[in-house]
A = this chain, B = another copy of it.
Amino acid sequence: MPRKVTLADVSRAAEVGVATVSRALGDHPDVSEATRQRVRAVARSLGYRPSATARALRTGEYRAISVIVPDAGWGWWEPVVRAAFKAAAEVGYYLMAHPVAGTKGGAAAIVEALANVPTDGVIVIGVPDQDGVREACDRIALPAIAIDDTSRTVRFPTISAQNREGARLAVEHLISLGRRSIALLRPNIGVETDNWGDGLFIDHRTLGYRDALDSAGIAFDESLIIDCTDPFNETRKHWRELEAELSTGVRIDAMFCAADTMAAAALRTLRAHGLKVPEDVSIVGFDDERAAILVDPQLTTIRQPYEEMGCYAVELLLRKIQGEHVDIRRYEFVTELVRRSSTDEPERLAKPEAQRNDPKPVGVQQA
């Protein structure tokens, strides 16, 4: 391992002062073009790399930001992080990812540990306990942005998707297919799964479901709401609650599945009850997450613009770091319907099912 080349080395080799080297390598105006060229050449030939540490110590900024990545929920945040990474890199910041990974104390504890990490700010993803994290951030004076739709109390600029409007899109699509008995499969947020906080997004998606029914003049039927226990455990084969519902003999012709990750088990349960998707039951999910394309049939779903959300988080965070004021409120992103096989038109398919309305065309986007 060759010893590290420092500014002093370059300065000696180029026969100029260290200050000049620093200026030449940076974008300072007060250097003659000739010296700049020469210094740069020497620096390159010596294999000089600036020490980020020394620079950070001097300037007080690390040009690095952190993102705290949640423990549960199977990696929907991955595209968010990739996008954030890219956005940060574009403005010369690098991004560190800190998985929660079962850490005791959750995100707040991680922020606490960030005290020792050279970082200028943090993006917290999926944080139901914004109060705790906020306190930790204040204590170490660390700017923060949240990407989250679980917490009712917003103590950071918080980015999320329009859950209510998205859910409405989903259910309107089902209605446009002529479906009328539309079940809502929801995660049942119990005390044990506190990773999902107040379950705000579930409430909102439920409201969107009702919005769509109301607009179409379809009566809301409480019994069509199915809350599933242990909802984000993907090793589950079936949803007991859905099984119970189907066993009562209720007929459903569509299902809005409030999270894509629940779709795999839902499809298995339907199949086990002899129901075909999309012939007998049309399904729309929510998130446009990896699960949506792995299941069979592939899932029509509501896309959350994860990439945009990641980029915007970085943008807001950098503004905060630069001392600009950023409103503490929710920043919501528009969702869109992505059509796949789980809602192929019933009338085009073999099964001659009851079909009362003409499907009205809706403004959907092809996957």
Contacts and interface: CB of A to CB of B under 8 A. Distances in A.
A2 interface: yes
Interface in A76-101: 78, 81-83, 85-86, 89, 94-99, 101
Contact of A140 (B49, B113, B267): B49
B116 A52 contact: yes
- Tell me the dominant secondary structure on chain A's binding face: mixed
A237 interface: yes
B290 A4 contact: no
A141 interface: yes
A82 B94 contact: no
Interface string A324-355: 00000000000000000100000000000000
Interface in A104-125: 113, 115-118
A99 B115 contact: no
Interface residues on A, range: 35 or more
Contacts of A294: 234, 264, 291, 294-295
Interface stretch (A25-33, A54-62, A162-170, A222-230): A54-62
B98 A94 contact: yes
A237 B110 CA distance: 40
A35 interface: no
Interface of A: 1-2, 4, 47, 49-54, 56-57, 62, 64, 74-75, 78, 81-83, 85-86, 89, 94-99, 101-103, 113, 115-118, 139-141, 234-235, 237, 264, 267-268, 271, 290-291, 293-296, 298, 341, 367
Given A49-B115, A53-B118, 20 more contacts: A1-B141, A2-B141, A47-B139, A49-B140, A52-B117, A74-B290, A75-B78, A75-B290, A85-B101, A86-B102, A94-B96, A234-B293, A235-B367, A237-B298, A237-B341, A264-B293, A264-B294, A264-B295, A291-B294, A296-B296
